[in-house]
Amino acid sequence: MTAVAWTTLAAGLALLAAAGLSGRRVLVPMVADDEITARVARRGLATALRVAAQSVAGVRSARIRLGRSGLRVVAKAAGARPGLAEEVRAAVDARLANIGPCAGSRFGRVPLGAFGALFVAIGSVTAAHHPSLVLSAAVLVGGVSVLGFACLREVSALSRRATAAPRWCARPAETDTIVMDSAVAAGPVAADIETYAGVRSVTARLLGPAVAPELRLTVTAAPDADVTALRREIIAHALPRLRQALEIDTVAVRLELHFARQSSGPSTRST
């Protein structure tokens, strides 16, 4: 019974830790109404919505809470005036429409946390029948949990380093085959996208076979950047140039969108 109790307790602690970690890094799917498969960082989404709420005249500060059932906006204004709440709601709704998170997306981390709390409660109640083992077991469980998550983070880091610069082969069926670093192959398209309005930084990689490559983009934009225009420019300008350079007809695109914490003012596209 003691082994079962502490196993349950360890599982609960692991789930709680996983809930905390995933809550900081979760990516929310975005509406796929074009050829780009995109996701937006949860924290960046909250930042963009907060900036939208604060753009309403009279609003001094705003706080966004993304939860399992949706989002909650808490705005502080210099003074109450008729229609202020409606204006804030309209500004946030307009920003949501521009960014395009999928309808029904659940932003919270309730399932992992709830199951973790339940397992911890069950394990604690069961272990209470063996008080002499509580301290030693708690130390053991804590040490194992910390070590386990440290190992997971290290494996994740090694995986990212291992795939950070894969080789990409163009023209595999011809005699003048070109083999280059994935980031180098996608470098021009990243430099192109960085000139778009509101874009702060871009990293790009080409993955997959040469006949049907996939472009992986990680874009950091200003909180007030026009996401619809960004996607439109990628499709209208960046992708055709990449397809022409690679001498192929189709390139799949996966976009990971982040928003910078603070806006340094409006951006303009360089020419």
% of the chain residues with pLDDT over 90: 37
* 38-52, 75-89, 115-129, 241-255: least confident range: 115-129
Domain end, chosen from 99, 121, 143, is at 99
43: which 2 tokens? 């924290």
Could you tell me if residue 253 is inside a domain? yes
pLDDT at residue number 6: 56
User: Does residue 134 lie in a domain region?
Assistant: yes
pLDDT tier for residue 217 given thresholds of 50, 70 and 90: very high
Given 163, 179, 209, which residue is the final one in a domain? 163
Nearest to 63 by CA among 47, 78, 85, 41: 47
**188/91 Cα distance (integer angstroms):** 35
Per the structure, the count of domains in the chain is: 3
More confident residue, 76 or 163: 76
Q: Using the predicted structure, report yes or no on whether residue 186 has a pLDDT greater than 70.
A: yes
Q: Which residues contact 8 (CB under 8 A, 6 or more apart)?
A: 119, 122, 123, 126
For 241, the domain range is 167-259
Q: What percent of the chain has pLDDT over 70?
A: 57
pTM for the complete prediction?
0.66
* Shared-domain flag, residues 16 and 37: no
Q: Which of 13-22, 28-37, 95-104 has the lowest mean pLDDT?
A: 13-22
> Does position 72 have pLDDT exceeding 50, yes or no?
yes
Assess whether 18 and 140 both reside in one domain: yes
